Amino acid sequence: MIILPAIDLQGGQCVRLRQGVASDATIYNADPVAQALDWKNQGAKQLHLVDLDGAFQGKPVHTKAFADIIAATGLPVEVGGGLRTDADVEALLRLGVERAILGTRALAEPAALERLVKQYGSRIAVGIDARDGFVQVKGWLETSSTRAPELAKTVARLGNVTLIYTDTATDGMLSGPNLRALDELCAAAPDCPVIASGGISAPAHVRALRALGRKNLFGAIVGKALYDGKTTLAELHAALQTEI
């Protein structure tokens, strides 16, 4: 497993939302590049970047900031938020983004997802954001009737696509991940790498993820806990090495 620090951009600044509510944002850094370099200096090997304005507006807003982060850090990054067209995806991948994350479109346009996976392979990831087991879309503003494991199974048929699972009820709450839901999702798509997100805020949470024993559990995204000083990257990396 790897730990991916999160950089969520709203209005050009690094923020964290509480349960995805746009109006409930805490600003942590006005300089996204400086924040990315800080994570790198603390030992980050990859970064998780989110265009919050893009997610709410349905089109990329912070592409330049992401390009600047890639140029400054040289780290592999995955980017999501507002990627509703093929051109949006292509533009990000041309910047050198490791994985472009489709969320709303992955559910709404399965044919488009299949086409993009055929074209770009593992550089396409699918973000599965769920509340009470049901997939949420459009910046978590709408909840669909599709269960998260069902979407995971559909995506898995396309090939080796990374799944980024966020439990929206725990996101930003520092209360720990939804282990049962995550375990169910990993089981639904055993051949897809899965990255966990939502509530991960302590070394014990990382050890609990490892204890699930899911070989396809590839990584964990951590945001608010790092920004608030609840834990450090060094502590989380140490939890990846300890006995479970």
DSSP of 56-69, one letter per residue?
A: HHTS---HHHHHHH
Please give the average per-residue pLDDT across 160-186, as a whole number: 88
Query: Is residue 168 within 8 Å of residue 19, measured between CB atoms?
Result: yes
Please give the average per-residue pLDDT across 124-149, as a whole number: 92
Residue range 95-114, pLDDT digits in tens? 999 999 999 899 999 999 99
Q: What is the pLDDT of residue 243?
A: 83
11-45 core/surface letters (b: 16 or more CB in 10 A; e: else)? eebbbbbeebeeeebeebeeebbebbbbbbeeebe
Q: Which token pair is 4?
A: 């991916």
Q: What pLDDT band is residue 92 in, cutting at 50, 70 and 90? A: very high
Q: What pLDDT band is residue 170 in, cutting at 50, 70 and 90? A: confident
pTM of the model: 0.94
Percent of the residues in the chain that have a pLDDT greater than 70, as a whole number: 98
The enclosing domain of 39 has a CATH number of 3.20.20.70
Tokens 């770009």 correspond to what residue?
120
Q: What pLDDT band is residue 61 in, cutting at 50, 70 and 90? A: very high
Q: Please determine, for residue 216, whether its predicted confidence score (pLDDT) is greater than 70.
A: yes
Query: Is residue 79 within 8 Å of residue 90, measured between CB atoms?
Result: no
Residues that are catalytic: 8, 129
Q: What is the pLDDT of residue 141?
A: 82
Q: Which token pair is 173?
A: 């709450």
Phi and psi at residue 93, to the nearest 5°: -65, -30
- Counting the structural domains of the chain, the total is 1
Q: Please determine, for residue 171, whether its predicted confidence score (pLDDT) is greater than 80.
A: no
Tokens 């923020």 correspond to what residue?
15
Which positions ≥6 away from 208 have C-beta within 8 Å?
176, 177, 179
Using alpha carbons, list the distances in angstroms from residue 85 to 2, 94, 112, 158: 29, 15, 9, 19
Q: How far apart are CA 180 and CA 197, in angstroms?
A: 13
Range of the domain at 188: 2-239
Q: What is the pLDDT of residue 137?
A: 87
Q: How far apart are CA 79 and CA 212, in angstroms?
A: 26
Query: CB under 8 Å, gap of 24 or more: what pairs does 183-187 form?
Result: 183/212, 183/214, 184/148, 184/149, 185/128, 185/148, 185/149, 185/152, 186/212, 186/214, 186/216, 186/217, 187/149, 187/214
Q: How far apart are CA 57 and CA 59, in angstroms?
A: 6
Where is pLDDT greater, at 199 or 48? 48
Which of 21-30, 72-81, 196-205 comes out lowest in average pLDDT?
21-30
Query: Is residue 101 within 8 Å of residue 79, measured between CB atoms?
Result: yes
Is 244 a member of any domain? no
Is 82 a member of any domain? yes
Is 151 a member of any domain? yes
Q: What is the pLDDT of residue 173?
A: 64
Q: Please determine, for residue 242, whether its predicted confidence score (pLDDT) is greater than 90.
A: no
Please give the average per-residue pLDDT across 132-159, as a whole number: 93
Please count the other Cβ atoms lying within 10 Å of the Cβ belonging to residue 236: 25
Which of 40-49, 175-184, 210-219 comes out lowest in average pLDDT?
175-184
